[in-house]
């Protein structure tokens, strides 16, 4: 059985335990897009196109929240406020880590 290898920035925090508060490790979004990310990325596997690295904080963030206009592009940028509102609900901000994945098992490279 082969496991996917995801490339995680070395300075990213380690994946928290299931149910623990999100710390911006990015593992879930690097592995596969959430339902909103599937619409944005137009794919079901691989890193979400909306995922953004925040140099100042040293964490990954959902671009649907932090860079909605950039995620939508110039043609649809006017809808950025709506995307931000929907994203808060669709990606379950503040609910906790829901990535049921063992990082060592999937072959994360740091």
DSSP code for 109: B
The reported pLDDT for the residue numbered 4 is 74
Domain range summary for the chain, segments of one domain joined by +: 27-98
What stretch of H or E contains 85? helix 80-90
Q: Among 10-14, 21-25, 53-57, 96-100, where is mean pLDDT lowest? A: 96-100
pLDDT single digits (tens) 40-93: 999 999 999 999 999 999 999 999 999 999 999 999 999 999 999 989 888 877
Provide CB contacts within 8 A for 70, sequence distance 6+.
63
């Amino acid at each position: 059985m082969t496991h996917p290898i995801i490339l995680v920035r070395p300075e990213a925090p380690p994946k928290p335990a299931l149910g623990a508060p999100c710390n911006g490790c990015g593992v879930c979004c690097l592995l596969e897009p959430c339902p909103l990310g599937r619409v944005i990325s137009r794919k079901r596997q691989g890193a979400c196109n909306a995922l953004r690295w925040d140099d100042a904080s040293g964490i990954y963030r959902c671009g649907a929240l932090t860079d909605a206009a950039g995620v939508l592009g110039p043609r649809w940028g006017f809808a950025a406020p709506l995307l931000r509102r929907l994203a808060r609900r669709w990606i379950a901000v503040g609910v906790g880590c829901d990535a049921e994945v063992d990082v060592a098992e999937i072959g994360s490279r740091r």
